Structure 1
Amino acid sequence: MTARTASTSTPLSSRQSFPFVTWFRSRLLARWYDRRLQRLDLAEIDDHLLRDLGLTPQDVRRECAKPFWQA
């Protein structure tokens, strides 16, 4: 009976890693959402401001065509 009780207990290391996984997942989702918003804002910048930034319309199209998970 003691062997069964010992085998069902959860190791301490796996219980401690769960908050990290949750934190990492939430930060990753926040980063992806922020990246999407930045690309939407970039798409709205007019040509005059793009020249000031040193970007071409082709640069903007290329950046905005990327999926949200790509940097």
Structure 2
Amino acid sequence: MTARTASASAPLSGRQSFPFVTWVRSRLLTRWYDRHLQRRDLCEIDDHLLRDLGLTRQDVRRECAKSFWQA
């Protein structure tokens, strides 16, 4: 019979990786929500401010038509 020892390089169990997965999901949801808010705000900017930013109304429409998960 061979004795087994735990190694520090052993993969994480599902229970140990749960906080990391939760953190990644939280960051992703936060990024999506921020993107949604930024696009909503962009759609409401006046044309003279868009010109200051170097954007056209067509650029804004194209960006605002994207789904929240699209970069």
Following TM superposition, where does structure 1 have runs of at least 4 consecutive aligned residues deviating by more than 2 angstroms? Answer: none
Work out the percentage of aligned pairs sharing the same amino acid.
84
- One-letter identity of the residue aligned with 2:54: G
- For normalisation by structure 2, the TM-score amounts to 0.81
- For normalisation by structure 1, the TM-score amounts to 0.81
Deviates more, 1:14-23 or 1:35-44: 14-23
Look up the SS of the partner of 1:13 in the other structure: coil
Unaligned ranges ≥5, structure 2:
1-9
What does the per-residue CA deviation read over 1:14-69, in whole Å, with 9 as the maximum and x for residues that have no partner? 22211100000011001000000000000000000000000000000000000000
- Which is helix-richer, 1 or 2? 1
Count of paired positions: 61
